[in-house]
Structure 1
Amino acid sequence: MANKIIIAMVFGLIIGFSTNFTLPAIELVGQGFVMLLQMTALPYISVSLIYGIGSMSRRQGKQLIKFGGLTFLLLLSAVLFFIGLSPLAFPDWSAAAFYSASNQAQAEPLNILELFLPANPFDSFAQAIIPAVVIFSIFVGLGFIGLEQKRRSLYVFRDIREALTIVTNLVMKLAPIGVFAISLNASATIDNNQLDGLMVYIITATSIVLLLTFIVFPLLVATITPLTYRQVLFAAKDALITAFATGSIFIVLPVIAENVKKQLSEYAKIHSEVKRLPSVVVPISYSLPVGGKLLAILFVLFAGWFSGENVNVSDYLSLMIFGVMQLFGSSMIAVPNLLDNANISASMFELFIVAEQLIISRLGALLSVMFITVLALLTTLLTINKVKFYLRPFAILTASAPICTMLIFVMLSAVFELISHPYQGYEKFINRNLLIPGAEARYLREPDSSQLTNALAQTQKDTLTIIKQRGFIRMGYYRDSLPYAFHNKDGLLVGLDIELGHLLAQELEVAIEFVLIYRKQTKQLLSNGYLDIVSGIPVTPKNLIEYNLTTAYTEEPFSLLVRDADRRKFSHWQKFIDKKELVIGVPEAYFYEASVSKNLPNNTVWELSTPRLFFQKQGENIDAMMYGAAGASAWTLLYPDYSVVTPKPHAPPFAIAFPVAHGDIAFERFISLWITMKQRSKTIDALYRYWIEGKEPGRFVK
């Protein structure tokens, strides 16, 4: 059967990759096979635990906890050791990323009580909350241990387990067909573009999984038990193939338990525990952070490297301890928490999902099968005292594991260095043009003094009338106001605010004039009627007093722009808020030095005429620059040796609004309603995706 499954998987992959063709019926066949396997998995876990634990004596239960716990810690340490070595293979690439709103998303906390305590066991079964089902079944089994007349009741659970095993074996006869359908559909629907940037993670994970699955774990069993390397692989073979094809460890748990019992059948005549222990260890292990689940920690290390927010070696131990605790639950909940704990951009979670869909879930299932198989084998053999040191496999293990590890990491480093990966963040940022064809426009590097007198004479008229008579709307913008206003590779003024200015001019059926100004000029140029509208500024109490602000069209979280090496210093407000030697830069177009100084009284605050000073020689003495997260992310694309840090606890985001002509409430009302209209039509959302997040905007209403 195993050979048939392998052949079916290979044929499915070849056909899928070569033709990129699939049918809904093929996907349905694959899904149907997985659902048939799922049908017996959860009941099997429960009845196996109840029967296995209920059949034990108290002494046997203590032995199970003792030997099972020691074996689990040994295997867990082995996996974490190799994961900790993995960053040695990562190449030295520059990295930075566009801003993503998910960067500021609060990670969903792990609710240990709901995960492990089955307040309603029937709901836990219905929702497939495996840890809660395991705990419920363990307690029922423990209840049986204390009963004197339990044999008849336990035989019922034994017979149900045997019936479920027969059903699983019947379903496995369909495995070649199901695996063929799954592999064909998966290979035919892979988006090659999703592989960009993930190859380092995928290749590293593949190397670690293969090393542990086919060298370290089998040789470990062969070193201290009578089982040979071949016997260990044979015990795991069917489950390995099916788990890799389906990407699920859950559905092969019955297969693992039965194959382990078959492999140990020669001891069953003397030791009755051999028939029970695998059926207890295997279901329990599924609720633990085993094998493939631990690849989530590898992803966090990769995400730190990939985003330029590397995890320090000194933080590895705390990351791994925190990760193991989190991975008692779902990795989909654990990874956002791990990223948040390591101060890595939450947008990396999107890459995690893509990687899982591509192949990592299959690799994780492969490693988990061998992890659980070895855990069941070692725990059972330790319990029946069939452990002995064998020199030959030990010599092979001690020689092959270090050599293979060294060769793998040397090869990975060499391969990654050969891969051409020029930094493209800067090019991606400045290579963008206006999304919508722009209005007729002219550009001034400073206010036209000859027009100031005429503007002052017209201040009694309403702004819309002036714009119509003038034939163009005049918009001020600030220098280096990334990503709201900047010059692209062709020298054209672009950005979110600039695009909105063009769109407004088109709908007013006039041209537009962009004028470069300084923040200190803003109030005067709006008051005397020279400017009609200015690029967005934060909505603060002082700005509300000084300017006639529209409704907010976007918002940004508070963040700090720091050098990569200083990320940890600014991860929490309490780490730096009292340090007088720290210098915080504040761009004049963003915040007021006085306001920031009031909130950071112990730090030195310097006002900067442009954010660019922070990256130049003049900014060498500045430790961090306060900025909005979206703008800060844009600057890291230009200067990838810098990172965006949002100190914890996260401050509320600040709104961004346009200052408009002073004293003209009607014009402010018009622009505010226009913004609301564009928000409801998703136009601003589309422009935000394009200019702020660097993504394709999709279709939208202009």
Structure 2
Amino acid sequence: MKNISLSTKVLIGVFAGIGLGVFFGEHVAWLSVVGDIFIGLLQMTVLPYIMISLIVNIGRLSLEKAKRLIKYGIIFLLMMLGIGLLALFVLPFSFPEWGSGSFYSNDFVQEVVPFDVVKHYVPANPFASMSNNVVPAVVLFSIFIGLGVMKLPNKETLLKPLEVMSKALNQVNKMIVKITPIGVFSIAAGVVSTLSWDDLSRLQGYLLIYLAAVIIMTFIVLPYVISIFTPYSTRTVFKITRSTLITIFATGKIIVVFPQLIEDIKAIIATEEGGSAETRSEIDIIMPLAYPFPNLGTFMIFIFVPFAAWYSGHELVFSEYPLFLSSTFLSSFVAPITGLPFSLDVMGIPKETFNLFVVSTVLTDRIRVVLGAFHLITLTLLSVSASQGFLKFKKARFIRGLIVVSITFAVTIFGMNRLLTENMKSIPTNSEILNHFKLISPQQTFEILDKAVPNPNWRRRNESSLNRIKRRGIIRIGFYDDAMPFTFYNRDSLLVGMGIDLANRLANDLEVKIEFVPIERGEVIIGMQKDYYDIVMSDIFISNTYAQKLEISKPYITVSLALVTQKDESRFNTARSALEVDSFTICYFERKDVAEEYAATFRNAKIYPIDDLEQFFNQSVDDSIHFDTYLTSAERASALTIQHPGFKVVNPLPYHINNALIFPIAKSNIWKKYIDNWIEFRTQDGTIDRIYKQWVLGQEYKKKKRNWNFYDDVIVPKYFSDNETEKFSPSTIH
């Protein structure tokens, strides 16, 4: 083993860990703890090393040299980010046409928390920045200390001890690097053992395109940039940095091997011009300075934004790309976990898609940092070459590189488009997912009446509705048949939805059967007065009218009012643009009182009732009337856009108008008290929340399944199950 290089040992560790994770699955998930210990050991020296290295090397610079280094660093950083922007512009053409609306997200009513520039970039309390690992603030603090030391006459008195400390930290890092094969083995085994392949299958479009982008940028584009401008061989670059890049891939962090990466770049420099002390000093400055700034690894992560738009049915149009690219540039100054929600919000993409990104990070974080590390290598080599005067533009190599890169991108985009077109046929759309949902609650014996009729069993004198329900053994529940996602018929003609789920839960608690009674248009109040239903369990808004004329339960969920409009309609995207509209129409279904109150917030909004939703979606009304918008809850509106991908949900107000959903119930104090207590109980035990998450948020309720692994799913059934069955089978007992 002594003759095997470190990079080979690291590769063996990675593949051995992957194999162990696939074979034993969650049985070896505990190895991730060992991996965390390894990462912690690597990380413990990094921040002190960056601080001391910056102070020492900036302190020894002249002001003129510092300006020159920073100038070249900025020029080449902008050049490389420009390449990244171009890639972000062309790669989304890989996504084929694939319509899919989006479920409701609670982000619809949440205010966007602005990014705190001061907290991340200004070291108001440098010790807090150090303890919280806020690298940009620590770097800025170190730069100012270095600049202060630069002008001191006796600065070497301070710098020499710091230099010794820097070397000591580097030695500690090298000691820990020797156990890298064990560390990456543990990390790989832990990650693979808990990987959810079902979740990742939904992300294949993003993962495939991002992987292709990283491969192209790391192994084609950036190597060409190095060979076009510098004297260094890309083969030498990869040979020297190979083990470090593999370690970065395994750990998912650049910073943990930052000192080793600096040493690798010094070794690359030494292959051409001997690596003078001045050059090595410049590397020690450029690398820490460049680290807090955007790199191509982070930059290319933002391909998730057009993916999320495509996946959720909000495809970006050409005119939106300037906004997308500019927001990406700003967001790339922070970690993707912070910057992506900002970009998604700016582009008007449902932020629940961010949950998909979180799932993907188990893979993309490791890919991202490899490109990020090679970005730093390239930037440092370019800046040092320019500073030392041996930067040279090779025209012939530039032309050849341009041709190779163009062909590679064209082939990749075409190939990915065809591959995804075929693969996405097996991925269910949100419409298919919604129609596939099953009831969470125990399904009760039920009957669906053809039309609303009075209860055949009148309430006896002084008998409460609850007592009649128990006496009959049947509860009558009113419902709308097209109130998706609350009560509706799915594609299998089954009555489902949040309200139906709650109805089955209520009937199960009462130990009775169900009679579902369809509600005639505009007859909730009349139907309740005529004893058609004991309770109505569709999406019924509370209002002053209903509060006066109906017995109603306490609210069981809060909803936000919103408008449905055509996807290409931009007048209602913001409060400012909506207020500038001379006049527009709002159609509503049945609830005139709610529509009047909502429309009163606009100057020239006119409201019109409709009898059927198709009158809005198909504009099947009098030619003299055009419905611009449809008023409903954002929760229901989102479900409607799943069925009608050509429409979107908007809130053209600077604030949100919330409303509560309630159950109209038969007049009876005992019955009302029971329903209110039932809502409280089922809220506290999480039942209503679980049902809400499935039908409204689209998060299917299912028990967590064990991930597949070779040992439990192949070895045990084949070699142990039959023997165990024979051993404990009743037929073996005499």
Query: In 2, distance between residues paired with 1:192 and 1:100?
Result: 24
* Equivalent position amino acid for 2:686 in 1: K
Q: CA deviation at 1:96?
A: 2.5
Name which of 547, 566, 573 aligns with 2:550. 547
Q: After superposition, what is the alpha-carbon deviation per residue over 1:151-196, rounded to whole angstroms, capped at 9, x for unaligned?
A: 1211122111111111222211111222222223323332110122
Name which of 668, 671, 690 aligns with 2:675. 671
Query: In 1, distance between residues paired with 2:163 and 2:384?
Result: 19
Residue number in structure 2 paired with 1:363: 367
Residues 308-347 of structure 1 aligned to structure 2 (within 5 Å): 308-347=313-352
Any unmatched runs of 5+ in structure 2?
A: 1-5, 705-734
Residue number in structure 2 paired with 1:297: 302
Aligned length: 694
Greater CA drift, 593-602 or 191-200:
593-602
* SS of equivalent to 1:347: helix
Residues 30 and 190, structure 2, Cα contact 8 Å, conserved in 1:
no
Tell me if 1:65 matches 2:70: yes
Q: CA deviation at 1:112?
A: 0.5
Query: In 1, distance between residues paired with 2:272 and 2:659?
Result: 69
Query: In 2, distance between residues paired with 1:541 and 1:699?
Result: 41
Q: After superposition, what is the alpha-carbon deviation per residue over 1:377-424, rounded to whole angstroms, capped at 9, x for unaligned?
A: 111111122111224432331221111111211221222223252554
Q: CA deviation at 1:461?
A: 5.3
Q: CA deviation at 1:695?
A: 2.8
* SS of equivalent to 2:442: coil
Q: CA deviation at 1:270?
A: 8.6
Query: In 2, distance between residues paired with 1:590 and 1:167?
Result: 73
Q: CA deviation at 1:137?
A: 0.7
Residue number in structure 2 paired with 1:496: 498
Query: In 1, distance between residues paired with 2:629 and 2:238?
Result: 55
Residues 449-464 of structure 1 aligned to structure 2 (within 5 Å): 462-464=464-466
Tell me: CA distance 1:306–1:25, structure 2 relative to 1, closer, same or farther (3 Å).
Answer: closer
Greater CA drift, 83-92 or 322-331:
322-331
Query: In 2, distance between residues paired with 1:610 and 1:511?
Result: 30
Query: In 2, distance between residues paired with 1:299 and 1:420?
Result: 17
Greater CA drift, 546-555 or 6-15:
6-15
Name which of 414, 436, 453 aligns with 2:441. 436
Name which of 557, 560, 566 aligns with 1:557. 560
Tell me: CA distance 1:308–1:591, structure 2 relative to 1, closer, same or farther (3 Å).
Answer: farther
Greater CA drift, 10-19 or 483-492:
10-19
Q: After superposition, what is the alpha-carbon deviation per residue over 1:194-243, rounded to whole angstroms, capped at 9, x for unaligned?
A: 12221110110111111111111121121112222223334533332111
Residues 597 and 603, structure 1, Cα contact 8 Å, conserved in 2:
yes
Residue number in structure 1 paired with 2:418: 414
Tell me if 1:209 matches 2:211: no
Q: CA deviation at 1:579?
A: 1.8
Tell me if 1:385 matches 2:370: no
Query: In 1, distance between residues paired with 2:405 and 2:62?
Result: 39
Residues 479 and 610, structure 1, Cα contact 8 Å, conserved in 2:
no
* SS of equivalent to 1:310: coil
Residue number in structure 1 paired with 2:103: 98
Query: In 2, distance between residues paired with 1:233 and 1:569?
Result: 53
Q: After superposition, what is the alpha-carbon deviation per residue over 1:335-377, rounded to whole angstroms, capped at 9, x for unaligned?
A: 11111111111111100101111x1111110110111111111
Residue number in structure 2 paired with 1:584: 586
Query: In 1, distance between residues paired with 2:154 and 2:198?
Result: 63
Tell me: CA distance 1:121–1:420, structure 2 relative to 1, closer, same or farther (3 Å).
Answer: closer
Residues 149-298 of structure 1 aligned to structure 2 (within 5 Å): 149-265=154-270, 272-298=277-303
TM-score (norm 1): 0.92
Residue number in structure 1 paired with 2:131: 126
Q: CA deviation at 1:102?
A: 4.4
Q: CA deviation at 1:138?
A: 0.8
Name which of 8, 11, 14 aligns with 1:9. 14
* SS of equivalent to 2:401: helix
Q: After superposition, what is the alpha-carbon deviation per residue over 1:28-81, rounded to whole angstroms, capped at 9, x for unaligned?
A: 332222111111111111111111111111101111221111111011111121
Tell me: CA distance 1:319–1:435, structure 2 relative to 1, closer, same or farther (3 Å).
Answer: same
Query: In 2, distance between residues paired with 1:348 and 1:107?
Result: 16
Tell me: CA distance 1:234–1:148, structure 2 relative to 1, closer, same or farther (3 Å).
Answer: farther
Residue number in structure 2 paired with 1:473: 475
Residue number in structure 1 paired with 2:691: 687
Q: CA deviation at 1:103?
A: 4.8
Q: CA deviation at 1:538?
A: 1.4
Q: CA deviation at 1:591?
A: 6.5
Residue number in structure 1 paired with 2:359: 354
* Equivalent position amino acid for 1:561 in 2: V
Tell me: CA distance 1:335–1:591, structure 2 relative to 1, closer, same or farther (3 Å).
Answer: farther
* Equivalent position amino acid for 1:209 in 2: V
Q: CA deviation at 1:590?
A: 8.7
* Equivalent position amino acid for 1:306 in 2: Y
Identity %: 29
Query: In 2, distance between residues paired with 1:109 and 1:472?
Result: 53
Query: In 2, distance between residues paired with 1:502 and 1:354?
Result: 33
* Equivalent position amino acid for 2:209 in 1: T
* Equivalent position amino acid for 1:547 in 2: L
Tell me if 1:109 matches 2:125: no
Residues 580 and 604, structure 1, Cα contact 8 Å, conserved in 2:
no
Q: CA deviation at 1:519?
A: 4.8
* Equivalent position amino acid for 1:344 in 2: I
Q: After superposition, what is the alpha-carbon deviation per residue over 1:641-669, rounded to whole angstroms, capped at 9, x for unaligned?
A: 3333344634043211112224x444323
Tell me: CA distance 1:206–1:257, structure 2 relative to 1, closer, same or farther (3 Å).
Answer: same
Greater CA drift, 187-196 or 509-518:
509-518
Residue number in structure 1 paired with 2:701: 697
Q: After superposition, what is the alpha-carbon deviation per residue over 1:458-482, rounded to whole angstroms, capped at 9, x for unaligned?
A: 7975433443455433222223111
* SS of equivalent to 1:474: strand
Tell me: CA distance 1:186–1:593, structure 2 relative to 1, closer, same or farther (3 Å).
Answer: closer
Query: In 2, distance between residues paired with 1:206 and 1:490?
Result: 39
Query: In 2, distance between residues paired with 1:264 and 1:623?
Result: 65
Greater CA drift, 516-525 or 193-202:
516-525
Query: In 2, distance between residues paired with 1:642 and 1:146?
Result: 64
Name which of 502, 509, 512 aligns with 1:510. 512
Residue number in structure 1 paired with 2:406: 402
Greater CA drift, 150-159 or 2-11:
2-11
* SS of equivalent to 2:645: coil
Query: In 1, distance between residues paired with 2:300 and 2:212?
Result: 12
* SS of equivalent to 1:304: helix
Tell me if 1:575 matches 2:577: yes
Tell me: CA distance 1:317–1:259, structure 2 relative to 1, closer, same or farther (3 Å).
Answer: same
Query: In 1, distance between residues paired with 2:563 and 2:530?
Result: 35
Q: CA deviation at 1:273?
A: 3.2
* Equivalent position amino acid for 1:327 in 2: S
Residues 585 and 605, structure 1, Cα contact 8 Å, conserved in 2:
yes
Query: In 2, distance between residues paired with 1:534 and 1:212?
Result: 59
Residues 593 and 607, structure 1, Cα contact 8 Å, conserved in 2:
no
Name which of 473, 486, 489 aligns with 2:488. 486
Tell me: CA distance 1:570–1:465, structure 2 relative to 1, closer, same or farther (3 Å).
Answer: same
Any unmatched runs of 5+ in structure 1?
A: none
Residues 108 and 333, structure 1, Cα contact 8 Å, conserved in 2:
no
TM-score (norm 2): 0.89
* SS of equivalent to 2:607: strand
What CA RMSD, in Å, does the superposition of the two structures yield over aligned residues?
Answer: 2.6
Query: In 1, distance between residues paired with 2:116 and 2:100?
Result: 34
* Equivalent position amino acid for 1:484 in 2: F
Greater CA drift, 137-146 or 25-34:
25-34
